[in-house]
Structure 1
């Protein structure tokens, strides 16, 4: 159980939801098709091209969450897809409505999120005559979606939308896009609305699974890294069975966080440098990108486990790369009956180092410095987080400290932008988290740069009664750029923000609440007030601009 709701890992096979026959306008056909997949909410910003979809949603009882910018709507839909492992739906008006959502669609592309973007479109009967917001969206989003097309017939809406949603949910998951001309989506027709189907991943090759298991079992120093597709595939219990059976120290990244609880005996976080000492590194459900040294781990053999053959890394010569349903692969590895090396000394070595490094963090977590050390914020926050709290990171250095210092104990409880690294995800994700989990703590961590992208959507939190605790690490600079530029050139430009800006007053002006914190001793009481407020509450923490997060990754 997580937050009162039972998490059900996805097994093989499909889930059938009932189909029906419907006569109505295009918006009703859209709503009925979405409803067949269990969609009960859309994220949007109002526009005349999509009024019929709103009418269909109202009649079908689908919640409409309207925001202040289409980027936020699309990030909210992507975040909802990530959190729930169901389709997240953004409905965007024609022209600038769609183009405003492109960064969020790209983020979903990199994250493998089942995002469904439905766009308005100028009427096809007048196409080329210069209608308001007449623009062909499809070529713009084609390279970042699994399918992008225009629906040209009212009677085809249910069929084409059903196909698109099914494709979004099919491993390897990703965003899809359909737009609907005004004279198609407002017209009426009769149509069958197909059953909603949740597809399973392909059946993995049994020999690949056996080879992977044998490599891990016979290794002297194996390590496993679990990524976001373990969560998306519903494979967290299979992950636990696998690492417990094979006795493998395990790290997590992205939305893989929490798929093995941080307090599990085989869970490690502070000792990632030991990946270079491993002789076998198993990476499950995440790309071999800059976050994982591009798949280069010293002399280690690499096993890359992916949810579809197309996700295998082309730039790494993996020892073996099982592809398919992740639960099947992990359970297959767990059932290995061949020879096994003793991994206990290796596990003990990592545990001793993990313990020492965590102990060494204590000084920063408890720092009583003025200005405030960003790590002190997390020292106070950790003591107040529930085990199933949803924590959202949207920022540079300030959020990097969170990634290091905030542990995850349940699956589906951590959200960050992912490898595309797009700032501005945070408010959309926070909206999604509160809609998906109305009874949990939702904590949004933002840098003072990130809040500038979508800050007006604190109004959305207020209007829709979505209380969120937001913490802004306010050091008055673009820290991720200022410090490196100083190191390279000896000076910096375009790297300063307004010192001490009162972002809490912005939230107050929008109907929420907040306060500014300048002293470490005031952090804890401020967080207590935020969690008790019952409204969107921003704690604006003035942090030390001289402190740069100690970064070691090669980003390119």
Structure 2
């Protein structure tokens, strides 16, 4: 860019150079020059009804497209409203740049509207949080933000601008996007992992979100298939092995993690979702040895000592590990009895659950919803989960057929992501079905952004599992104390009428036989449409306390 009318032009031009095509925002005067820059540069401006949705949409854009997402927030409450979205991006390792407005430097300290020093608030949940120093530095500062967000390990960056700097003339900035050099894994670390595989009889390979984000899905699938490893996906690792693949043993998760002698976890933390990295020990089996492989050394587990670790570009890790396995004498046939056992366990689980997926019980069993949904989902559908108990079923009964078509809040577990994620999914996958699975509790966080879907003509099918309670809290509290408080919601609340009032479509479903036809009407409608399904509040998703 040779010149800019004002610093907002420079900021937007650099953003476009880094692949950004949409600015997610909620209107605010502190950032008007960024909007003006978007108009000059032909960038889409998508305005939402709550700043959290702008950040969630930017984060989902990054996760679906593997290009950086951009959210623009006005000063003060505009930025504090976006904090949960920024924290979610931090825990998910999503390359998001959040640009904020800031009271004028010429008035700083005198009590200007929404005057607040934002970076100290955001430093703990970003890779970098800083204030641009002047109009002529804004282009370079924006480039620093995008480079930082996209380098391993990816994550959000926050950058704010003094209002008077943003409105001031700027000389512009010629952006020079650089692809980070891939981090080569240490050969000795890779060799250690291969030796463990050579010794193992019951290995399990866990593929996490960073496998997708690192563009390593093909290398991961090739490695798993070449060495005949049972696979359990996690987060956006779902779909790397498609639904129905013989090595996909998600439905035998308990047996796999409980009886494995080696668990190789790639691209995801050893957190509560994976029992904090403790596997094995069931039915007389010893504790499993654990391997942790990450895209950057900073992501390796520190709360335990794995048997082996490796870090680097995950495609390079898988390719190197394949070579090392050959050198270590790994024999895939050795795992055949184990894989057969898990396949049989998975098949038994499918058979066991078939009745509930077709249950005619009244009130509706939540599993019946997933039984009906599976009949109408296309291979390239994008499925989004935003909820607690109801969405827990999705993790078990919705198996994507392609990578990059599943979104959940990730380890931070923030409710309210769904509408922002849906906005981004409809833009990123314009020809695919987009399905948002909402608990009725989660619906209360962001349902007003149906207005955003309607205004911007973004059809999404919303399915609300409406049991009239906070299910993840009510049942455990009853178990602990024999009573519950603060766990009730309005039974059969008409969330569908909220959607209709905002310009979409919807209906309430109270009988199992109505679910399938209602879903078909939703997909055929061509508008944001909610199927609000009243489910049995007495039924809780069966879970244990270890995450395994």
The bucket for the TM-score relative to the shorter chain is over 0.9
Counterpart for residue 88 of structure 1: 69
In the TM superposition, residue 191 of structure 1 has moved relative to its aligned partner by 3.0
Matches within 5 A, 1:514-525: 514-525=506-517
Q: Is the 8 A contact 2:194 2:330 kept in 1?
A: no
Matches within 5 A, 1:342-353: 342-353=334-345
Distance 2:190 2:317 in 1: 6
In the TM superposition, residue 555 of structure 1 has moved relative to its aligned partner by 6.5
In the TM superposition, residue 201 of structure 1 has moved relative to its aligned partner by 3.8
TM-score by length of 1: 0.95
In the TM superposition, residue 163 of structure 1 has moved relative to its aligned partner by 1.0
Unaligned runs of 5+ in 2: 281-286
Q: Which of the numbers 495, 500, 520 marks the counterpart of 2:492?
A: 500
Distance 1:258 1:56 in 2: 38
Structure with greater helix share of residues: 2
Distance 2:179 2:43 in 1: 20
Matches within 5 A, 1:287-298: 287-298=269-280
Aligned residues: 537
Unaligned runs of 5+ in 1: 1-19
Distance 1:134 1:498 in 2: 39
Q: Is the 8 A contact 2:9 2:172 kept in 1?
A: no
The alignment status of 1:448 with 2:440, answered yes or no, reads yes
What secondary structure sits across from 2:204 in the alignment? strand
Distance 2:259 2:370 in 1: 30
Distance 1:378 1:418 in 2: 21
Counterpart for residue 503 of structure 2: 511
Comparing 193-202 with 308-317, greater Cα deviation is found at 193-202
Counterpart for residue 317 of structure 1: 305
What secondary structure sits across from 1:457 in the alignment? helix
Matches within 5 A, 1:465-484: 465-484=457-476
Q: Is the 8 A contact 1:226 1:250 kept in 2?
A: yes
Query: Could you say if the C-alpha distance between residues 237 and 553 of structure 1 is closer, same or farther in structure 2, counting changes exceeding 3 Å?
Result: farther
- RMSD, aligned CA: 1.1
In the TM superposition, residue 119 of structure 1 has moved relative to its aligned partner by 0.2
Q: Which of the numbers 164, 185, 189 marks the counterpart of 1:183?
A: 164
Counterpart for residue 246 of structure 1: 227
Counterpart for residue 339 of structure 1: 329
In the TM superposition, residue 414 of structure 1 has moved relative to its aligned partner by 0.6
Distance 1:191 1:54 in 2: 16
Counterpart for residue 412 of structure 1: 404
What secondary structure sits across from 2:20 in the alignment? coil
Counterpart for residue 432 of structure 1: 424
Deviations 1:167-223 (A, max 9, x none): 111111000000001011110121332212232441110111122122123311111
What secondary structure sits across from 1:148 in the alignment? strand
Matches within 5 A, 1:151-230: 151-230=132-211
Q: Which of the numbers 373, 376, 392 marks the counterpart of 1:400?
A: 392
Q: Is the 8 A contact 1:200 1:325 kept in 2?
A: no
Deviations 1:135-181 (A, max 9, x none): 11111101100000000211111111111111111111000000001
What secondary structure sits across from 1:173 in the alignment? coil
Counterpart for residue 5 of structure 1: none
Q: Which of the numbers 31, 55, 59 marks the counterpart of 1:50?
A: 31
Distance 2:264 2:407 in 1: 23
What secondary structure sits across from 1:23 in the alignment? coil
Counterpart for residue 10 of structure 1: none
Query: Could you say if the C-alpha distance between residues 200 and 85 of structure 1 is closer, same or farther in structure 2, counting changes exceeding 3 Å?
Result: farther
What secondary structure sits across from 2:337 in the alignment? helix
In the TM superposition, residue 332 of structure 1 has moved relative to its aligned partner by 1.2
Deviations 1:208-259 (A, max 9, x none): 1122122123311111000000000000000011111221101001111112
The alignment status of 1:360 with 2:342, answered yes or no, reads no
Q: Is the 8 A contact 1:170 1:201 kept in 2?
A: no
Counterpart for residue 284 of structure 2: none
Distance 2:321 2:237 in 1: 19
Distance 1:290 1:318 in 2: 16
Matches within 5 A, 1:374-393: 374-393=366-385
Distance 1:294 1:200 in 2: 31
The alignment status of 1:111 with 2:99, answered yes or no, reads no
Counterpart for residue 283 of structure 2: none
TM-score by length of 2: 0.97
Deviations 1:269-300 (A, max 9, x none): 11111212111110000000000010111311
The alignment status of 1:269 with 2:257, answered yes or no, reads no
